[in-house]
Amino acid sequence: MNRPYTKSRRWRKSLALAILTSVSLTANAQSNGDTFVHLFEWNWTDIGRECTEFLGPKGFKAVQVPPPQEHRAKDYGALDEDAWWVRYQPMSYSIGNSRSGTEQQFRDMVSECNQAGVDIYVDAVINHMAGDGGDGTVSSMGRYASQNNYPDVPYSAADFHNCGKPEIDGSDYQNNAANVRNCDLVRLDDLKTESENVRSKIIGFLNGLTAMGVKGYRIDAAKHMAPADIQNIVSRLNPIAGTNTPVYVFQEVIDKSPGQEAITASEYTSIADVTEFQWADNIGRKFQGLFEPSFGQNGKLADLETIGSPAWGMLPSDKAVIFVSNHDDQRGDGRFAIVDYNDEFGLNFIAEAYQMAQPYGYPKIMSSYYFNANEDRSVSRPTVPTNSPTGGCEAPYGPNRGGSEGWVCEHRWTGLANMVAFRKTAENQALTNWWSNGANQIAFGRNGAGFIAINHESYPLVQQLQTGMADGQYCDILSGDFVNNSCTGDIITVSSGQVSVNLPNRNSAMAIHTGAKIGGGSGSNRQVSFTCNNGSTNLGTSVYVVGDSAQLGNWSPNSAIKLDPTAYPTWSATISLPANQAMEWKCIKRLESGGGVQWQNGSNNQLGSASTSTSGSF
């Protein structure tokens, strides 16, 4: 089914069609207003439901999903033999069955997310296969392999590197790029990606996923492959199914210490976007107040005024995928400077809100599950589904949510989910009206499109601050939702461009944007003619319209407006709506008794603020 696609037309940024050349994949860079989420270790069915019920309506651009290929089933050497990292030890390129589900469930997920307007980014593990062939253990599909011998691909010894030692040494990362790229990463059988036999199998795997509707790829462990190898593979990927638009690609390249690494992130930016690990490290040190030798003092939020400028030594904004934390960092690999839900109450929240509010990079929200910090870093995902009343996304937050009963679901935190719309509204707008107390209270605007204030001190932030925004009342989207031209949270008044900020608590924040201005849709009513074409139905089923206003049911099928089959299979009706208010809507088929909903495919239909007729089609 196809839920509302809530990316408003004024926010969407069309992507130029590109001829697929050796560097064409970089043409599909994401909009400065986009946000995506990593649903770490979720299963396919839950991801499909989340796209339909939450990610699409909130406007997320995409979701990064777990590696789908057949993988090692167990790691008997880990504290938890079902350790999450077995997903990163592939045994073949089949997606017949993984920890997240079956191939059919994967296909259904892709279809549901695409219909909801949410792209799928697959975590592609193409640098290596399993550790020592999986040590002879069974795969997620009940099959076996051995070191450098994977009959279900097939791969043999000739398809793997042999650098003369068991694995990469720690010193290689500073001194020997060849070893980093040609030796085994933690004893994972390292593929010879310069080989045409290997390349063709990887390309076939990825193009097969693209044909199913996948629209992007995270290239895992890209640092461990030569740029020329990745360039060759990326240049041969098919465009998004049914289009000439290249798939989106970003590469995992860990380069936290510029000038001290044998391999740098900048070597890969001509191919596609790159993960900017320095971003997470830099803002983590500021939010945690860690000592920084380069500053000669403890980090503080006031230092962030110029972050993203060349002086910080990070990747260009249009090449950088950024995050507050990722699945590796949370579990000990660089955990020292990383902010996540394990830190003091509210710190993760304000760090994520800050990341969404500022203009640098393409932000990814990490959606986690609970574990006991570094001591239990192998722990596998919770045993309950993400919609479980005890441990799922909607379960009450508390100290008992841990281990096997704890999905954190950061992306569903009210304020963070609403910051997706903030970022869209502020697309391509510069950071303006910066203010700080010189320490850990900051505020800034986005050139009149939005404004945020953050308090990370132990005392209140009480200030009259310039926002650069038009006068009026706005919804504080970090405290509540903006729904049907009203606010469930705090209402903020801007007068003469200024706002009275009062944040009494440590790790608190407020944020407003022009898309959540109260009273923007008021005025007299107009009569609008709605038409849904090709609405063939069975007995007991009718066609309805539903949309993003109270008059159109606020996207709830049970509150949708029924049309009349005046020229069946064309359905129509005239509905009274507020004047001067643009809306988005869709046709749906629904049982007259409720349920059995079928959504119109594709993007939302647009109703202009002055339009008196509009149509959609199944």
The structure tokens listed for 201 are 């199998």
The reply to whether 13 falls in a domain is no
Highest mean pLDDT among 400-404, 549-553, 571-575: 571-575
Asked if residue 165 and residue 92 are part of one domain, the reply reads yes
Asked if residue 339 and residue 198 are part of one domain, the reply reads yes
Q: What is the pLDDT of residue 334?
A: 55
The reply to whether 327 falls in a domain is yes
Asked if residue 572 and residue 488 are part of one domain, the reply reads no
DSSP state letters, 24-41? GGGGGPPPTT--EEEETT
> What residue has token string 């309950």?
384
Q: 38: closest CA among 411, 407, 413? A: 411
| Low-confidence winner among 240-254, 392-406, 438-452 (lowest mean pLDDT) | 392-406
The structure tokens listed for 68 are 């789908």
Asked if residue 537 and residue 509 are part of one domain, the reply reads no
Beta-carbon-side half-sphere exposure of residue 54 (alpha carbons within 13 Å): 22
DSSP-assigned letter for residue 51:
I
In contact, 519 and 472? CB cutoff 8 Å: yes
Cα distance between residue 360 and residue 455, in whole Å: 21
Mean pLDDT in residue range 357-373: 90
What burial class does residue 171 get, using C-beta atoms within 10 Å of its C-beta: 0-12 exposed, 13-18 middle, 19+ buried? exposed
Q: What is the pLDDT of residue 16?
A: 29
Q: What is the pLDDT of residue 134?
A: 61
| Low-confidence winner among 84-93, 180-189, 252-261, 588-597 (lowest mean pLDDT) | 588-597
Q: What is the pLDDT of residue 30?
A: 66
State yes or no: pLDDT of 295 exceeds 60: yes
Asked if residue 547 and residue 595 are part of one domain, the reply reads yes
Q: What's the full length of the chain, in residues?
A: 618
Give residue-wise pLDDT tens across range 519-548. Answer: 864 345 678 999 999 999 998 889 999 988
pTM here is 0.81
Q: Give catalytic status of residue 252 as yes or no.
A: yes
Give residue-wise pLDDT tens across range 46-87. Answer: 999 999 999 999 999 999 999 999 999 988 777 778 888 999
Give 369 or 62, the one with higher predicted confidence.
Answer: 62
Name the percent of the chain in helix, strand, coil, to the closest 5. Answer: 25, 25, 50
Last residue of one domain, picked from the residues 400, 421, 442? 421
Q: Which residues contact 190 (CB under 8 A, 6 or more apart)?
A: 127, 128, 160, 161, 163, 182, 183, 184, 224
In contact, 329 and 368? CB cutoff 8 Å: no
Helix (H) or strand (E) run with residue 173 in it: helix 172-175
CATH number at residue 556: 2.60.40.10
The mean pLDDT value of the chain amounts to 88
The reply to whether 325 falls in a domain is yes
CB atoms within 10 A of CB 22: 12
| Low-confidence winner among 213-217, 288-292, 349-353, 461-465 (lowest mean pLDDT) | 288-292
CA distances from 102 to 150, 214, 340 (A): 21, 16, 31
Q: Give catalytic status of residue 352 as yes or no.
A: no
Does residue 227 have a cis bond before it (omega within 30 degrees)? no
Asked if residue 309 and residue 237 are part of one domain, the reply reads yes
Asked if residue 474 and residue 393 are part of one domain, the reply reads no
CB atoms within 10 A of CB 464: 10
Asked if residue 399 and residue 325 are part of one domain, the reply reads yes
Q: What is the pLDDT of residue 11?
A: 25
The reply to whether 480 falls in a domain is yes
The reply to whether 66 falls in a domain is yes
Give residue-wise pLDDT tens across range 263-278. Answer: 999 999 999 999 999 9
Cα distance between residue 357 and residue 478, in whole Å: 11
Q: 217: closest CA among 331, 76, 64, 367? A: 64
Cα distance between residue 384 and residue 26, in whole Å: 39
Q: How confident is the model at residue 410 (pLDDT cuts 50, 70, 90)?
A: very high
CATH number at residue 270: 3.20.20.80
Mean pLDDT in residue range 474-483: 95
Asked if residue 380 and residue 240 are part of one domain, the reply reads yes
Note the Cα 281 to chain centre separation in Å: 19
Last residue of one domain, picked from the residues 491, 518, 545? 518
Looking at the chain, the whole-number percentage of residues with pLDDT higher than 70 is: 89
The reply to whether 284 falls in a domain is yes
Q: What is the pLDDT of residue 583?
A: 87
Asked if residue 88 and residue 30 are part of one domain, the reply reads yes
Q: What is the pLDDT of residue 524?
A: 55
Q: How confident is the model at residue 28 (pLDDT cuts 50, 70, 90)?
A: low
Torsion (CA) 306, 310, 316, 318 in degrees, nearest 10 = 40
Last residue of one domain, picked from the residues 463, 495, 518? 518
Asked if residue 500 and residue 390 are part of one domain, the reply reads no
Identity of residue 231: Q
What burial class does residue 240 get, using C-beta atoms within 10 Å of its C-beta: 0-12 exposed, 13-18 middle, 19+ buried? buried
> Active site residue: 41, 70, 172, 220, which one?
220
Residue 590's domain comprises 525-617
State yes or no: pLDDT of 25 exceeds 70: no
> Active site residue: 34, 252, 276, 329, which one?
252
Asked if residue 326 and residue 462 are part of one domain, the reply reads no
Q: What is the pLDDT of residue 22?
A: 30
The reply to whether 7 falls in a domain is no
**Number of folded domains that form the chain:** 3
CATH number at residue 500: 2.60.40.1180
Q: What is the pLDDT of residue 374?
A: 53
Cα distance between residue 526 and residue 546, in whole Å: 17
State yes or no: pLDDT of 281 exceeds 50: yes
State yes or no: pLDDT of 254 exceeds 60: yes
The reply to whether 274 falls in a domain is yes
Mean pLDDT in residue range 170-175: 95
